Amino acid sequence: MLRLGDPAREAAEDVFFGQVVMIWARWAMIAAAAVLFLWNAGDIGSLTQRVVLLAGLMAVNFFLHGRYLVERPANRTLILLASLADVTLIAVAVALWGGFTSQLFVLLYPVLFAFALVFPPRFTAALTVVAVGLYVGAVAFFDLRWMTDVQLVKTLLVRLLALAAVAGLGTYYWRIQRDRRRRALTAALG
């Protein structure tokens, strides 16, 4: 029997209740990516590459959404792997299409926020570190000339701080929701 405050029960509830939010956040990210890809495509070759990346993002989300619709929701491991795939694909897109000047980094915001709504703070912190590291690596891979301009370095630091803040806000909301569920369970049992 599961008891009040059981970590396994709470983790299962986080995944169950948070999965819908993650699916819709992923669709929002995919829609934003489609707009950014179409808006910034210079030629057919570039557009084709971007559509392939977009198809990869969509395939992962179709899989997660399909599992949810047939009432076989994803587990924590699958959601973690999907989020890692998203962060990696976004970093690859930044590295391929613009580096520092690429606006595709904004796609990391919904990924990190949705992840933070479902996973405990230590997992969110780990994914945030991975996302920040991959983004900095992608920017550096494309071009290192931005490092000589103090204003551009400041801009990069603000972007990284904003990514961390989004993850922190998601974690804060995660704590609020967990406390609400605990209070409701306590009230129901007592």
Domain hosting 25: range is: 7-189
In this structure, is residue 1 part of a structural domain? no
**pLDDT at residue number 150:** 93
Structure tokens at 151: 């204003």
Total domains in the fold of the chain: 1
pLDDT above 90 (res 84): yes
Q: How sure is the predictor about 4, in pLDDT bands with cuts at 50, 70 and 90?
A: low
Query: pLDDT tens, 9-24?
Result: 788 778 877 888 888 8
Q: Measured over all CA atoms, what is the biggest interatomic distance in the chain, rounded to whole angstroms?
A: 65
d(CA 103, CA 101) in angstroms, rounded, equals 6
Q: What pLDDT does 95 receive? A: 92
Q: CA torsion 116→119→122→126, rounded to 10°?
A: -60
- Give the percent of the chain with pLDDT over 70: 96
- 115 assigned to some structural domain: yes
Burial of 71 (C-beta count, 10 Å sphere; 0-12/13-18/19+): exposed
> Long-range contacts of range 159-164, CB-CB < 8 Å, 24 or more positions apart?
159/105, 159/135, 160/132, 160/135, 160/136, 162/109, 163/105, 163/108, 163/109, 163/112, 163/128, 163/131, 163/132, 163/135, 164/128, 164/132
Provide the CA 124 distance to its chain's centre, in angstroms: 10
pLDDT of residue 97: 86
Compute the average pLDDT of residues 64-90: 88
Query: Is residue 86 domain-resident?
Result: yes
Classify residue 2: in a domain, yes or no: no
Per-residue model confidence as pLDDT tens digits over 113-128: 999 999 999 999 999 9
Domain membership of residue 158 (yes or no) is yes
pTM: 0.85
Instruction: Report whether pLDDT(3) > 70.
Output: no
Give the model's confidence band at 1: pLDDT under 50 very low, under 70 low, under 90 confident, else very high: very low
